[in-house]
Amino acid sequence: MGTLAINTDLARRILTEKNDDWEALSQGLLEYETLSGEEIKTLMEGGSIDRGSKSGPAIPAAGSSIPARPSNRSANGYGPRCPN
């Protein structure tokens, strides 16, 4: 059996064995779009996510994880910015 066939069988076996885990993860992502590490752990342990109901903690809104970068363009958007 070739390497590709062996790895295909391994991937199929892992996905089959972990079906409940990836199903819970996919449902969580469909509902919330993003999940924290703690939320993923909770789902993998068979728990459920509670964002902000009266009985559970609220997840604070997060800003962008991409830092702002100053523009080196001029005010009209073309060419480099010229110092005054």
22 occurs within a structural domain: yes
Using a cut of 0.75, tell me whether the model's pTM lies above it. no
How many independent structural domains does the chain possess? 1
17 occurs within a structural domain: yes
18 occurs within a structural domain: yes
83 occurs within a structural domain: no
Residue 78: band (very low, low, confident or very high) from pLDDT cuts 50, 70, 90: low
Of 23, 27, 3, 4, nearest in space to 15 by CA: 23
Give per-residue pLDDT as tens, 27-77. Answer: 999 998 899 999 999 998 989 888 875 554 455 555 555 555 555 555 555
28 occurs within a structural domain: yes
Pairwise CA distance, residues 72 & 82, whole Å: 9
Range of the domain at 25: 3-44
